[in-house]
């Protein structure tokens, strides 16, 4: 939703502030924490929530500072909504958003039609390459569109089964240097 190419922002697709406000009201009623993701920082709506701790911890990132009004007057490009799969259905009534689960306790909230694939498309428009010349690496459900879109989609060995099924190549897991292994096996470095 926020694409930078050669140190220049080439695409922005922020979430609508009014829709964020409505989602936060529902999230508050359901006691579901939210993390706001802006251009260069993240803020959480609540402190020390166990689902946020586990989800953010899986990204090897510190728990964000808390500011439940951080979104007001700012461009927010993504939300992390912390709820379980069966609780997510309550948020389907927001046509402005696409929800993509990436963790047992969290789902990405993206602008409708937004994805990593859209970001790649914006970069490719600036380069003298065709999409068939592109490679992408992923491991979660939030990588499905990207892996389908690029010329060669690579699923990490630790990826979810759905991603491995559509990938062109499955490499070793992240903790076994899967990216380096794929780069070598796909002969990407000369």
| CATH number of domain containing 165 | 3.40.50.1000
Quick one: 107 and 15 in the same domain? yes
Which domain does 157 fall in, by range? 116-185
DSSP string, 62-82: PPPEE-TTTTTTS---EEEEE
CB-count exposure of residue 113 (10 Å: 0-12, 13-18, 19+): exposed
Residue 59's pLDDT is what?
A: 83
pLDDT for res 115: 87
- Structure tokens given for 110: 């993206």
Any domain includes 93? yes
Question: What CATH number should be reported for the domain holding residue 31?
Answer: 3.30.1240.10
Asked, for residue 190, whether it belongs to a domain, the answer is no
**Per-residue pLDDT at 63:** 95
pLDDT below 70 — which residues of the chain?
none
Co-location of 164 and 138 in the same domain: yes
Q: Which helix (DSSP H) or strand (DSSP E) does residue 43 occupy?
A: strand 42-44
- What Rg value do the Cα atoms of the chain yield, rounded? 17
Q: How far, in Å, CA of 111 to CA of 48, rounded?
A: 27
Question: pTM, whole model, 2 decimals?
Answer: 0.86
Q: Clarify whether residues 51 and 128 are in a common domain.
A: no
């Amino acid at each position: 939703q926020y694409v930078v190419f050669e140190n220049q922002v080439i695409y922005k697709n922020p979430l609508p502030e009014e829709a964020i406000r409505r989602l936060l009201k529902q999230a508050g009623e359901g006691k579901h924490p939210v993390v706001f993701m802006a251009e260069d920082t993240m803020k959480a709506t609540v402190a020390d929530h166990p689902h946020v701790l586990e989800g953010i911890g899986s990204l090897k990132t510190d728990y964000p500072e808390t500011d439940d009004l951080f979104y007001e007057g700012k461009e927010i490009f993504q939300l992390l909504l912390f709820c379980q799969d069966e609780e997510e259905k309550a948020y389907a009534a927001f046509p402005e958003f696409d929800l993509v689960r990436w963790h047992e306790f969290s789902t990405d909230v993206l602008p409708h039609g937004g994805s990593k694939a859209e970001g790649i498309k914006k970069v490719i428009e600036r380069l003298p390459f065709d999409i068939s010349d592109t490679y992408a690496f992923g491991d979660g459900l939030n990588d499905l569109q990207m892996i389908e879109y690029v010329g060669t989609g690579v699923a990490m060995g630790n990826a979810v089964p759905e991603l491995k099924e559509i990938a062109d190549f499955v490499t070793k897991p992240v903790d076994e240097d899967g990216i380096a292994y794929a780069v070598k096996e796909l002969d990407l470095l000369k």
